[in-house]
Amino acid sequence: MDPLLQGRKTVILEPRLGGRFYEDWGAGALYATVSYYEPPLKLRLTGPMGMSGAVACSMEFALEERSGATRLTLSHDILGTISRETVESYRSGWKKLLGTTLKAFVEGAAK
């Protein structure tokens, strides 16, 4: 492994039907696979998303043009036994990732 990448994690999405959504840090972790792909409007992923136990997850990202802007809608459905802490962790994680990090990235790129 490249010494500059040692200890760093890379999240990879293969944007095609059957593509993987995974984290690469040597051994890696598969979070989900692409189960529906309609570029550039919709992407659906299915997989455990790092949750342990008997769970099934489906996440859909949908883009929609509204008044000259683009709206991103996330639907994240989980089936199985999960704790309230896990629900809150994912809720706050998605909010930070999409509402803060991605928003700043997109708005910075638009300038």
Q: Digits of tens for pLDDT over the chain (111 positions)? A: 444 444 557 889 999 999 999 988 776 788 999 999 999 999 999 998 888 777 889 999 999 999 988 899 999 998 888 889 988 998 999 999 898 988 898 888 766
Is pTM, for the whole model, over 0.85?
Answer: no
DSSP notation for 41-100: TEEEEES-TT--SSEEEEEEEEEEEETTEEEEEEEEEEEE---HHHHHHHHHHHIIIIII
* Spatial separation of the C-alpha atoms in residues 49 and 8, rounded to whole Å: 19
* Spatial separation of the C-alpha atoms in residues 104 and 108, rounded to whole Å: 6
- Under CATH, what is the fold of the domain 10-80? Alpha-D-Glucose-1,6-Bisphosphate; Chain A, domain 4 (3.30.530)
